[in-house]
Amino acid sequence: MGTWSGWFGRASEQVRDDVRSDPYLVYILLVTLVLAGFWFWHRVPIFATWDEHDRVLDPLVTYSSVINDPSFSGLREGITWSREPWAGTTYLYVIAVLPVVLVAALTGQVDAIAGIGIPTGGYAHYETWASTPRWVWTWSLVLIRLTNVLFAVGTVYLTYRLGTRIWDRPTGRIASVLLGLTLGFVKLAKEGGEDIPATFFLLASLYALVLFLESDDDRRFYQASAAGAVGMVFKLTVAPIVLLIGLAHLLGARSADGSFRDAVWRPRLILTGAGIGLAVMILGTPTLLVGSVREVTARWFLSGGERVSTAVGPTAPTWWWFLRTYFSAFGIPLFVGAVLGVGASLYLFGKRLVALPDPRAAAPQLDSIWLLVAHLGAFLLLISTWHDWRVHHLLPTFPAIMLLTAWTFRELGRRRRTVARVGLAILIVSTSIYAGVGVAGYASMPRDEATDWLRDNAEENATMETYYHGFLENAIPHDMRINPIWTDDESAIDRCPAYIQIGYKELLYLRDIPDDQRGYDVDTNVDARAAYVRALIDGKYNYTIVKEFGERPPNFVPDRAEPGSLRDLIPLGIYPHSDQYGDEQEFAANQYVAILKLDGECNRSRDPPW
């Protein structure tokens, strides 16, 4: 206990020292807090993404299962219910939602938690969501998202600390400002996921490795092993940190006294670090602790291979996916600045390596830069093996990109001070505008507006029919009944509900494109669904559009970037609320909603192909 308290004490003292020494740091962190926290309650009490759906349900199901069966069996059933053994998020969010459970117990509403039970049924467990009091979801989501906001601020601080430690405070300041203004970063803080916490612990591990290279203190190596393992239990794609820990050991051995072989062969250091990492992963995986070895083994050793072949988005060249993702996350000005900055930093790094008088000369700063370069390269190489990816998959690369870019600006400032200042000012202003517009857009999202309109205007006890894969992809007031077309019980289905909702994703079926250009979300039963959607909006089934939210696509047919087209990607880096694929947060471009109301007799020939 003393070791941990001492570590946290030193970390707290370091934060206080940085705040005292750098008057700009507080403002950098405050800006991050504002951008990450602005309108973080969007979509509440509905989940923002499928990932958030899983992460919020996991701790609540665990609590519910233990309340209903206060035994090891109840605990095991609750923990193993999860779609995947998510490990770190289960621990973190069990703590985050504890106040909700305590309030329920203290106010005599514990049945609200107990009633969640072990969710079954379709449409993203809609019945569980609808039957649980709204306040449970509201406050669970609020607390979990606030946790991510705080981790986002911490991640920006660690970026600052890395830049300061490797170079100087101005470099750390530039890097942290750029990261804090990155839309792709701050938007991930507005959902309950694992990406922001995983990145935080990844940076904590990198920082410990930098200290290890400076001091050759074995305790720093062990701290890096522990922090890296924590990052991995949050998100397995943090796994390249294992290679970086190994690289740090080799870099440290390079400049150690004696032979290189003897410096490398340190069984105690290697085995202790590996043992700490393995122990943290075991203890950090509650599914394993309750005895579900098979599920965890599959998650650890098989899921990586499955991810390589999983096609979520359309088939397109690797470069196209990288550009699409970074354009959307950074905006074009920051993307261009980052490409130039990282490229120049690699040139500077190469020059300094060549200038080393002796291959074994001590150079902790160059060793630390080695870690950043290797970190960036390893993650890009890993992601490039996949079929497709989204912003949250590339998040671990953002801090390294900003640090290397900041170093370039710092070096440029020593040679051409005015050019560096003007260039940096342009980059910060343009990125601020891109991020600011993107964040401000959360205050007027189409699905939120549609939900409010339905709550205020739909008749009491009215039934609405929605499609796609789950209720969370629609605008649904918590107390409005949804027509359960996903059930096998025909008697429960209303043949002619009062309302039908058509959204952007239903309209994607109207696109006349090859199947390999469709995402996995709209590649099933395409012809039948396209014919049904067109007939519905044309009034064939006596339904009329009474309200629309968001920008209607021309003739109701969305226009997505053509896979492989560079020209079609340009708007994604200019307009922040651009089209997204898969399990990413859906911005305004994806949130068009049309509310149709029954206007005339019931046409019983209507048979939605969902």
Q: What is the pLDDT of residues 157-174, one digit of tens each?
A: 999 999 999 999 999 999
Q: If pLDDT is split at 50, 70 and 90, which confidence band does 462 have? A: very high
Q: What is the pLDDT of residues 194-242, one digit of tens each?
A: 999 999 999 999 999 999 999 989 999 999 999 999 999 999 999 999 9
Q: If pLDDT is split at 50, 70 and 90, which confidence band does 261 have? A: confident
* Distance between CA atoms of residues 239 and 322, nearest Å: 20
**Tokens standing for residue 252:** 């440290």
Q: What is the pLDDT of residues 122-160, one digit of tens each?
A: 899 999 999 999 999 999 999 999 999 999 999 999 999
* Residue 446, pLDDT score: 97
- In the DSSP assignment, the letter for residue 133 is -
Average pLDDT along the chain: 92
Q: What is the pLDDT of residues 59-100, one digit of tens each?
A: 999 999 999 999 999 999 999 887 666 678 889 999 999 999
* Residue 1, pLDDT score: 47
Long-range contacts of the stretch 462-465 (C-beta < 8 A, 24+): 462/497, 462/498, 462/499, 463/494, 463/497, 463/498, 463/499, 464/497, 464/498, 464/499, 464/500, 464/501, 465/494, 465/497, 465/499, 465/500, 465/501, 465/608
* Residue 469, pLDDT score: 85
The answer to whether the beta carbons of residues 454 and 500 sit under 8 Å apart is: no
Q: If pLDDT is split at 50, 70 and 90, which confidence band does 2 have? A: low
Once rounded to an integer, what is the mean pLDDT over residues 425-443?
Answer: 97
Q: If pLDDT is split at 50, 70 and 90, which confidence band does 303 have? A: low
Q: What is the pLDDT of residues 355-369, one digit of tens each?
A: 888 878 778 899 999
* Distance between CA atoms of residues 389 and 395, nearest Å: 11
Once rounded to an integer, what is the mean pLDDT over residues 249-270?
Answer: 87
* Residue 159, pLDDT score: 98
Q: Quote the pTM value.
A: 0.95
